[in-house]
Amino acid sequence: MEFMIMVEPGVRVYVNDINPSGNKTIIFLHGWPANYRLFEYQYNILPHMGYRCIGIDTRGFGNSDKPWSGYSYDSLADDILEVIKTLDLNNVTLLGHSTAGAVAIRYMARHNGFGVSKLVLCAAAAPSLIKRPNFPYGQNKEDIEKVFIQGAYDDRPNMLENFGRIFFYKQVSPPFSDWLFQMGLQAASYATIAISKDWITEELFSDLPKIHVPTLIMHGIHDQVVPYQLGVVQNQGIRNSKLITFENSGHGLFYDEMDKFNRELTQFVG
């Protein structure tokens, strides 16, 4: 079931509700610069196991509307709230990958986890994707500015293709790589730039202690985008959280170790 949900006047986000009659609901939030299809290899399996899978395209990405503004973590968290309220969802598992993991954390803190009973963070870009004076982990600010922001201004297709080369740890086929590349191209260029700027300005150190639901953290040790140490910090900052290390995964752990990912996710959701 596919539809558009109005999250604010003039802005709609795309939602794909797979197996609406499922017993337990998982909301999938994709990372930059993809769309809900990023979790195709979960949608193929989990609905057969009785799960309801709801994929959301972030505003500016995929099939969602692409407004000029509204790309702060606060705004993106508010969009999630509108989807949950519109669909009258409760007792759901909220799953966020990469940047969407950070947005999921902001949602839990900003909206007191409304409707959410469990949280899953996959290679989440939190509490900060960049290194800061008192935070030695993550990427260098200058690299984000040069590679992703200026790269998008100068040659976005080339930037996206290079990003795809470091996304997975396992070897993927050229068609598979192109599949990921095409998802990135579907986004609005200004949306990809705005989110890249968020990586520099957004911090979630004070958000982590506000999470009060069971939380599963999954992170690959070979992640070249969001270093593994960020998962360790999340585990230290979120009460009642569990960190699962993926020894043979990069940033795309949901595909690098697909069977393990699906198994850990379903065991956690129950």
Catalytic residue of the set 223, 241, 249, 256? 223
Q: Which residue has the tokens 């585990």?
A: 235
Show Cβ contacts of residue 89 under 8 Å, excluding neighbours closer than 6 positions. Answer: 25, 27, 54, 83, 115
Amino acid at 17: D
Catalytic residue of the set 64, 98, 128, 196? 98
207 catalytic per annotation: no
Distance between CA 268 and CA 51 in Å, rounded? 13
Distance between CA 150 and CA 262 in Å, rounded? 36
Q: What is the dihedral of CA 32, 36, 42, 44, to 10 degrees?
A: -140
The β-bridge relationship of strands 11-18 and 2-8 is antiparallel
128 catalytic per annotation: no
223 catalytic per annotation: yes
Catalogue the active-site residues: 98, 223, 251
